[in-house]
A and B are shown apart, each in its own frame.
Chain A
């Protein structure tokens, strides 16, 4: 059907004519059906000022409160952000950043002190943020092998071509292969609360539940190896920029090791924009009325493994509470208030026009 029309042109006159008309109309009265006579019953809405006006007002009246609600919600979210890249010389991580080399056995550790002015109630989410990091570069985005990550044994030893140039290390294939995996964010962040006695209390960081459930349980699978990951990965090499192989990402928890390590999974979900944040840890709310993070001084202990200065990038640590709408973002609230107001305003304008127009109904010469 589709193509018969598509190339009807190239058909000779008599053939197309025969197909479209003669057979149907010859000596035969056309069917008097509503469809063929183009008389199907139809709803014929006419948008008039009269019918649109209430809609505008209703939209305005709904959107403005929603917007205000969203704005307030967003404002109530507490967020604390600190840049620990170490660009300026007075930054505690300046030395680590400056003296970075890939092949060190002794990791560089720096400590950043900060103060929370307000207590963070409920669960607090710890993010790391990167800037000017193009996780959405095409060469980068495609440089992965989802089959390998899904535990496919053949892909484990023979990764996809897309992983180049992070596909093989010498003759041994890399697991996990590709640029994304290779550049896994490997700073270790530890948070301490400095109480009034100036003693450091480590804030417990939960690393479960930071990745999508479906990613962790379906999309990412460790290769079968009788529960022994070392065995499963024995024919593979670690990514070139990694300090340790994939099966040692979290030796303490076999459910968080290998490909199903949540930090790894989170990293593998490539960010949309060059400035992004990724969930690092969750600070669970303690029972009772004590805030999760009381106001006061904190220490962030950073094992500085991840170089960003070479491409003028930045690293941040973000602490944030979360509402039902996610993290702090005033945009939605503003958008709703704006659109609601526009609708309301238009409603008023239309009302005026409608009024005027009604008065001149008889003359019918509305300027266009």
Chain B
């Protein structure tokens, strides 16, 4: 239906199915004979997953979709169906526990969601219907309803702004709850709808719902008294998003376009893609091994059972006859059920509790990050934020760090440093030097005329004042509440004596701090931007006169074009276009003779590490303007490809401009940026800087951050180096790639010494820019495309640092992806603060957001967010290292303890006719993993600091010891497995020898099979706990409490369990078994000697390993205690430390 109508409207050439039509106020339009109200979803927000009815089945289904849960369910079912040695309770109880707790927790969360949903859905809103105001529940809003929203209310659905109580047809909103940006954003009403919302007869046609918060295209047809419908374009500036809050505006009217689950907010709440850590992959690999062990054990036992039974008199001696049922069952079916029974008997080797413990460790452990007061930044009053707890240990495995420059390495706290007008440099010095604070420091040509003409100066400053999207904060209205905010945004307010007191309270709000810096720079030179009022920009000029300009068009900034422009009309009727942007995007678009004068300055400023922008202008004749105006309007009305069409018009307008000058803005380095980078490099992490900035600026930042050092040989692969006379760029690229490859890869020392290479041999730094990168990556026409990519990657990997400049956001992600998928699949980490870093944050293994100035998008999409770059050091070297060691140990220990738990049970099968007789009582089987041995390892995995955090931070090379998943590779795994096997053998055969004479009590009474199991189990529990105690390097009271507590609990429990005749038990197997065991001296003696024997190799290993790990540590303690003059961050001792440690790590 919809499609037919659309087709009628747009004729055949339109194939737009992806749009919807909305009748404002549900009023039929004259153009349509038939008014068929279209069907859209209602405004119910359903974030809950379950209802009361489907909770149980749906939740259970979802839980059992996890492989582990499903495996345990199968085991449980086998136990229920087949006659198995252990009761279904042994595996059913833990599973039931886990499932129930999870279900309760999810149910609770869902209940909270229901509550939140209800709150939203039942919220009373005002709907204008046929001229009346009707209160409705929010969930009853339909698409097309006209709503009235008052100040400080949140919008109940996505609205098109029709009417605002403000005169200029604007309203302010804050989207704090959507993307965390708390500044006020201006939205505009649709023109011509202002006056008569009640009688407005219009349809809106817009795209189908899509999650991008910052994109919206649509158009409005307004019908007036049978006139030809007039068209208005609708963009994101007309759309008020659900979840945003109305500010500074008394009330607005809007028509609902997207409701309920189709609002942009709801669409944005879809979960992010799941990132998995290396440790998890290791766990899965180990699980597979253990599954193989399990199956082979079961197979061996089944085979042996039938071999054993084939001997005469063994299968069914007179004292032990089979039941009728057993006799009748088919032999093969019997074999199969026997196999399953063995599987069940040995299934404890893969414990439910490991999953629980690992998840718990991750969840609880991640609190330490958000609790860390070192991550607290007093400036923004926030600490670190943990968005996922799955990747804690990945922080200890990072091999590549991809960092953004602006806002990450640098503070994104811009300060206007100098400018250059017509080739003359103007540096702002001190207020005292000249009255207007505007002086020439050194003209390039030192000619007679030292200053550029006053006219040019003023033109330049006007350009700075006009060419931006800065808003003036109305200090009278909201100054109080947001003082803190103002201070942050414009750090320049600090030097107050320069700024006239009148402007002191003036705050500027802009999406980019550059713009604020520029406007404030202009202010210092006497041109003050007073604000934008109903399309008129007011400027206070040097003569304290207010100049008015009519703002005709804003050609917004975008990272591809890398410039923005405004078209204004002055009082005198002149139409002017002011454009500012990166030099590379401005220079080709201005008259070439002007370029040379400026280029020198720009380049020098860039080398000094300043951000440079070029400013140009252009007079537009009335004719030209009309053309541009219509072009822009047309493009803005387009429903499809609006961006591209706009871009085309922009590019067309921004040509043939006159270059006026350039600005230099300083972006200071983040605190401790250099130290952090140095530490990361010391930790063996390769740091790549990916920035959209100019090469020169980025390079100087790299030098400032000590990513490039004085002796670093820079390999450049940029548009500049590719330009060489007489050669095609492709050929030149080819040559350069080969040359660099030879230098870095082939001539490099062999891999073994590479760890030490950083300090001993030549350092390489590699610089590539976006254009060249796309040549390398996308040269699909080339046959040797593959080689290029490989070559490039190899070069990059052999350089200590890589700088990629002039990167588009997507290219950043491309780079990350390329490295991520390269050989050895290294662990990557992306850190950034802005929306342009989101793609690489999402792409990398670990994404870190900096709570910087460029909004909250990076933080929202990150896995961890920290306030400052310097916190990265502790996050990786401290927390990451510890988390990795903890979880690696946890995983290995879990496999180990279950191996030596089950191995005796397996061995026992050889002595009981492979009859699946369990060695331990069911209670012990169940409780072993849940109670007796779970808490110590959990405590260990939460509190262990095998090396103190200070030491880890001071000595970055320690990070290399755990690199490449060192603790979870097959070597350590084999060690732990062998240890488990050894322990299992010792436990079983030690007791076996003892039981060659079962008369172990001093009254001659003998022990039975349950005593045997209990002795083995006691040794087992004590050994694995003491083994953990041996591994614990950091004994807090919690460790003491938990380790000794579990042992005490085991003893207590055993007494208790054996001390009562339990009415619910069919067999009182353990009745007084434990007490009798303790009354036997022999049992005591054997327990002691076997525990000691089991732990001997471990003690020995720790002692013999000692010269490596702790020795270095000891020495460090001595050295730092010995009073080195500057123990922290001085390069020299660090270097020496690294040398001495490396000799240890490499060996």
Contacts and interface: CB of A to CB of B under 8 A. Distances in A.
Pairing of A with B:
yes
Interface of A: 1-17, 20-22, 24-32, 36-38, 40-49, 52, 59, 63, 66, 70, 123, 125, 127, 133-147, 150, 160, 162, 164-166, 179, 182-183, 209-212, 214-215, 218-219, 241, 266, 269-279, 282, 307, 310-312, 320, 322-329, 331-332, 335-336, 339, 342-343, 346, 350, 353, 357, 364-368
B109 interface: yes
Q: Which 4 A-B pairs have the closest CB atoms?
A: A5-B363, A183-B319, A327-B999, A3-B101
B129 interface: no
B290 interface: no
Nearest to B109: A15
A364 B359 CA distance: 40
A3 B105 contact: yes
Contact of B1006 (A1, A147, A241, A276): A276
A214 B1071 contact: yes
B385 A146 contact: no
A3 to B, nearest CB: 4
B1036 interface: yes
Contacts of A160: 1066
A4 B102 CA distance: 6
A136 B917 contact: yes
B1089 A322 contact: no
A6 B915 contact: no
A272 B1008 contact: yes
Nearest to B108: A4
B1086 A335 contact: yes
B1061 A219 contact: yes
A142 to B, nearest CB: 7
A325 B1035 contact: no
Interface of B: 62-63, 85, 98, 101-106, 109, 113, 269-272, 274, 312-314, 317-324, 355-356, 359-364, 366-368, 370-373, 375-376, 378, 381-390, 911-913, 915-917, 943, 945, 948-949, 990, 992-1012, 1030, 1033-1039, 1061, 1065-1068, 1071-1072, 1075-1076, 1080-1082, 1085-1086, 1089-1090, 1092-1093, 1096, 1099-1100, 1102-1108, 1110-1112, 1114-1115, 1140, 1143-1144, 1147
9 contacts: A2-B356, A3-B106, A6-B356, A48-B1103, A141-B1009, A211-B1005, A271-B1008, A273-B992, A335-B990
Contacts of B370: 20-21, 24-25, 30
Contacts of A328: 997
B945 A7 contact: no
Most buried by B among A7, A209, A311: A7
Contact of B1003 (A162, A209, A214, A218): A209
B1038 A40 contact: yes
Given A30-B371, A44-B1034, A49-B1106, A325 B999 contact: no
Nearest to B1086: A332
B211 to A, nearest CB: 13
A138 B1143 CA distance: 58
B105 A7 contact: yes
Contact of A279 (B360, B362, B1006, B1107): B1006
B967 to A, nearest CB: 16
Given A134-B915, A212-B1072, 12 more contacts: A7-B106, A30-B373, A47-B1030, A139-B320, A139-B915, A183-B320, A273-B998, A323-B1002, A325-B1081, A326-B997, A326-B1082, A339-B1093
Nearest to A23: B370
B363 to A, nearest CB: 3
A140 B320 contact: yes
A165 B372 contact: no
B880 to A, nearest CB: 13
A249 B1000 CA distance: 27
B383 A42 contact: no
A21 B911 contact: no
A46 B1108 contact: no
Nearest to B1099: A52
B323 A164 contact: yes
B1072 A214 contact: yes
Nearest to B112: A15
B104 A3 contact: yes
A336 B1147 contact: no
A114 B1110 CA distance: 66
Most buried by A among B911, B998, B1105: B998
A70 B1086 CA distance: 11
A291 B731 CA distance: 109
A165 B321 contact: yes
Given A13-B271, A139-B320, A326-B1082, A20 B1099 contact: no
Given A5-B359, A212-B1005, A14 B994 contact: no
B366 A20 contact: yes
Contact of B387 (A21, A166, A366): A21
B999 A42 contact: no
Given A272-B1008, A357-B1107, A367 B360 contact: no
A47 B1032 CA distance: 11
A270 B1008 contact: yes
Contacts of B1001: 326
B1004 A322 contact: yes
B1107 A142 contact: no
Given A5-B364, A160-B1066, A279-B1004, A312 B1085 contact: no
B1 to A, nearest CB: 35
Nearest to B1108: A368
Nearest to B1080: A326
Contacts of A134: 314, 317, 320, 912-913, 915
Contacts of A59: 1092
B16 to A, nearest CB: 32
Given A273-B995, A335-B990, A140 B319 contact: yes
A12 B110 CA distance: 12
Contacts of A342: 1096
A166 B1115 CA distance: 73
A20 B389 CA distance: 8
A332 B1000 CA distance: 11
A368 B1107 CA distance: 9
Given A40-B943, A141-B1009, A310 B1108 contact: no
Contacts of A324: 1002, 1081
Contacts of A164: 323-324
B786 to A, nearest CB: 36
Contacts of A123: 1004
Most buried by B among A266, A276, A357: A276
Contacts of A339: 1089, 1092-1093, 1096
